[in-house]
Structure 1
Amino acid sequence: MTDRTRRSTAQPDTGTARLRKERTTAHTPARITRLEPNEVFVFGSNAGGMHGGGAARTAYEKFGAVWGQANGLQGQSYGIDTMSGLRVLASEVSGFLGFAREHPHLTFLVTEIGCGIAGYRPKQIAPFFADVPPNVVLPATFDR
């Protein structure tokens, strides 16, 4: 586990194996300003990949998101279209989770996708992340 993930327990950091063991207690921090080489910043995007605000802007300015690319891996970021309706968002999250399972050597730090400009509440988005692999870290607001 990195110093950018918070745990609800006050135990010392013992690495990725600990994160996998305690997956349910690790959370993405509210603000991410740097990443380790094996970490990926997961953000909400619009269908046009115009990363002008919120986490999308951070992904573009700091983590290699590509202007005009809405979804998928982009540098050290991964875009999920959150602006084209809940059905599209659910499909995008499903595709992302498949990608995360295929890349267990990476740790994916999911931001509060869909809960900013897209206007959804965490309780609407959290169910899409019901079955996450151990290398996906969610914001505390997605806990159910």
Structure 2
Amino acid sequence: MRITPDLVTSLEPDDVFVFGSNAAGAHGGGAARIAHQRFGAVWGEGRGHHGQSYAIDSMSGLDALAADAEVFVAYATAHPELRFLLTPVGCGIAGYAPAEVAPLFRGVPDNVSVPASFVPFL
């Protein structure tokens, strides 16, 4: 299992930065801000793949996060040519603990690196 660096400042051409967003796609803070400033996240798009970023709604409740995590795992599986750097989605501004969020990402394919804080719960 590959580990996502704590601080991602640059990406290779086939890398995708996976971050927690809100449904409105207002990428004003945390990893969402970095995704918008550096990796092509689109203001107003709170879900999915844009540029070298992939947004997961982590602010609309744990059920919404779980649904988006499931869609992400399927997307990553369908795109083995890409390398996804999963950040600790939901564990910043959204306020969830890794023990709550990490299990939602069980089954990620080999082309997804995970935060070290998620490893004990996968």
Q: TM-score range by the shorter chain?
A: over 0.9
**Alpha-carbon distance in structure 1 between the residues aligned to 2:92 and 2:102:** 14
CA RMSD of aligned residues (A): 0.5
1:67 to 31, 43, 53: 43
- TM-score by length of structure 2 reads 0.97
The equivalent of 1:138 in structure 2 is 114
User: How many matched pairs?
Assistant: 120
Question: How big is each residue's C-alpha offset from its partner over 1:54-112, in whole Å with a ceiling of 9 and x where there is no partner?
Answer: 00000000000000000000100000000000011000000001100110000000011
CA positional deviation for 1:129: 1.3
Q: Distance in 2 between matches of 1:49 and 1:75?
A: 14
Equivalent AA in structure 2 for residue 80 of structure 1: I
* CA distance in structure 2 between the aligned counterparts of 1:129 and 1:83, rounded to whole angstroms: 17
Identity of aligned residues (%): 57
CA-CA distance at 1:46 after TM superposition: 0.4
Unaligned runs of 5+ in 2: none
The one-letter code matched in structure 2 to 1:75 is G
Return the structure number with greater relative CO, CA threshold 8 A, min gap 6: 2
In 1, Cα distance between the equivalents of 2:106 and 2:38? 29
With structure 1 as the length reference, what TM-score do the two structures score?
0.82
1:98 and 2:103 are equivalent in the alignment:
no
**1:58 aligns to 2:31 (yes or no):** no
